[in-house]
């Protein structure tokens, strides 16, 4: 069940009244519809048309909540992790090590040891993001006495220009991510020469919030061309998969985005065209699996009306949802009770309580008589995971919905506990 209003104008997510959730859990609160998350994973998996060995490696950074990760694991997803901590979450949520890949430009030895040492053979692959990293990963595999799977993340050298926000474009020449295309051959040779490393994959990730398939397909072609050339010269014989990354965009209310399945179909078509159909295709979506299935609930604290603007001050701030402050992102703000009648709405500038000018969710059409509670939409991805305790703010709670009811929620840590911990910092009192 999607986000919908009932006959009385009450907003529901997954069949649960959000006003009831706000009353019970307090605000700010993230609410996630686990059934809709599972459905989005199934829809994406179906796009592979049963291709052998494919993997939807869910980018755990988008939402690390156990119920979300477990739901996606049960729907057949693996995991793409970027830290030792995310690896532990994925494992604790039942993702099998051979369905986990690990990306990141600066993995510590301890993190590598965790990835190499788990299970019978370690995780599926550590994604190498620089030539320099190869010797470091090899040293840890040698220390573990294991031959270990690695994948080379190639920087496809695609400038996303106007396609997405500069902060979330990763596949261009100046990005810190990935092995430069011209260094890829050398990286393959170095891996091939090591008795401890086995090259199982070649991958890329061009950036995030791509609303059309064009740049993704262009980058995939660049990767496939490279893989085809390497194989033609007798290299990279041990490859098992190609990984075209994540980045499938969502509609934040500004217009439709291509469905995740379309990205997969387009990448599969290119893969076949390049004669690489014997390899499995891996993708690494985060946002597209969950953004639309989560909302952030907030209460209106007060208004402020001046000549310059009409502010609606809510109890959720940039510490709870930083995307507007960091990327000028827009999340629609809607009342929990009563649909907005455009003829009677007013533009309210919705802001949080944090002492920063950027703690601003933008102007939204809301009733002239402001609602008591609002929901910020499409907040399931990169919401809670990027939250902080700036200004001594409590972290928001998370509420999980499934089968038409609330199935669990987290507890809010008290401000007293935070004050005490800060006051005693360093053990100096």
Residues of this chain that bind ligand LLP (CB under 6 A): 59, 62, 80, 103, 168, 170, 205, 208-209, 245-248, 284-288, 323, 327, 382
Minimal distance in Å, beta carbon 178 to ligand LLP?
Answer: 9
- Closer residue to ligand LLP (CB): 80 or 315: 80
- Closer residue to ligand LLP (CB): 204 or 300: 204
Annotated catalytic, 93? no
- Closer residue to ligand LLP (CB): 91 or 322: 322
Q: Give me the catalytic one of 355, 423, 425, 428.
A: 355
Q: Which whole-number Å values give the CA distances from 10 to 20, 23, 50, 266, 335, in the listed order?
A: 10, 13, 40, 40, 9
CA 33/CA 368 separation, integer angstroms = 30
- Closer residue to ligand LLP (CB): 59 or 318: 59
Contact indicator for 387, 352 with CB cutoff of 8 Å:
no
Minimal distance in Å, beta carbon 410 to ligand LLP?
Answer: 21
Rounded to 10 deg, the angle between the 34-46 and 66-74 helix axes is 40
Judged on CB neighbours under 10 Å (0-12, 13-18, 19+), 389 is middle
With CA atoms as reference, report the closest residue to 98 among 115, 112, 86, 114: 115
Minimal distance in Å, beta carbon 63 to ligand LLP?
Answer: 10
Structure tokens given for 362: 């933008």
- Closer residue to ligand LLP (CB): 58 or 400: 58
- Is 321 strand, coil or helix? coil
Structure tokens given for 228: 């085809």
CA 110/CA 382 separation, integer angstroms = 26
CA 177/CA 316 separation, integer angstroms = 33
Phi, psi for 261 (deg, rounded to 5):
-60, -30
Minimal distance in Å, beta carbon 61 to ligand LLP?
Answer: 6
- Closer residue to ligand LLP (CB): 247 or 294: 247
- CB atoms under 10 Å from CB of 429, counted, come to 6
Rounded to 10 deg, the angle between the 184-192 and 131-144 helix axes is 20
Catalytic residues, by residue number, are 355
């Amino acid at each position: 069940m999607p986000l919908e209003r009932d006959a009385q104008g009450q907003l529901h997510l997954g069949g649960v009244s959000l006003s009831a959730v706000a009353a019970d859990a307090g605000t700010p609160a993230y609410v996630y519809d686990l059934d809709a998350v599972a459905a989005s994973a199934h829809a994406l998996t179906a796009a592979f048309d049963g291709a052998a060995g494919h993997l939807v490696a869910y980018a755990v950074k988008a939402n690390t909540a156990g119920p979300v990760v477990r739901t996606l694991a049960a729907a057949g997803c693996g995991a793409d992790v970027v830290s030792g901590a995310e690896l532990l979450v994925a494992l604790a949520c039942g993702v099998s090590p051979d369905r986990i890949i690990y990306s990141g430009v600066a993995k510590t030895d301890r993190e590598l040891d965790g990835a190499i040492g788990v299970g019978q053979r370690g995780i599926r692959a550590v994604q190498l993001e620089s030539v320099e990293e190869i010797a470091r990963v090899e040293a840890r595999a040698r220390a573990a006495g294991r031959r270990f799977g690695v994948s080379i993340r190639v920087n496809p050298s695609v400038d996303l220009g106007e396609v997405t926000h500069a902060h979330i474009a990763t596949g261009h020449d100046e990005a810190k991510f990935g092995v430069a295309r011209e260094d890829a051959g050398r990286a393959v040779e170095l891996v091939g020469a090591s008795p401890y490393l086995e090259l199982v994959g070649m991958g890329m990730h061009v950036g995030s919030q791509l609303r059309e398939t064009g740049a993704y397909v262009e980058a995939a072609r660049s990767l496939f061309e490279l893989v085809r050339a390497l194989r033609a010269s007798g290299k990279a014989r041990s490859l098992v998969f190609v990984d075209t990354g994540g980045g499938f965009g969502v509609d934040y209310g500004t217009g439709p985005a291509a469905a995740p399945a379309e990205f997969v179909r387009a990448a599969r078509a290119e893969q076949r065209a390049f004669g690489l159909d014997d390899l499995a295709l891996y993708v690494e979506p985060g946002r597209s699996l969950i953004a639309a299935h989560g909302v952030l609930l907030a209460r209106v604290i007060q208004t402020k009306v001046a000549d310059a603007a009409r502010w609606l001050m809510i109890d959720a701030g940039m510490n709870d949802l930083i995307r507007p402050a960091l990327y000028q992102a827009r999340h629609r703000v809607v009342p929990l009770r009563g649909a907005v009648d455009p003829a009677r709405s007013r533009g309210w500038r919705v802001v949080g309580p944090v002492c920063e000018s950027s703690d601003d969710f933008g102007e939204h059409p809301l009733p002239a008589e402001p609602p008591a509670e609002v929901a910020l939409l499409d907040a399931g991805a990169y919401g809670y995971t990027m939250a902080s305790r700036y200004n001594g703010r409590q972290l928001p709670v998370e509420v999980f919905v499934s089968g038409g009811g609330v199935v669990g929620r987290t507890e809010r840590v008290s401000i007293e506990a935070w004050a005490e911990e800060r006051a005693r910092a360093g053990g100096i009192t």
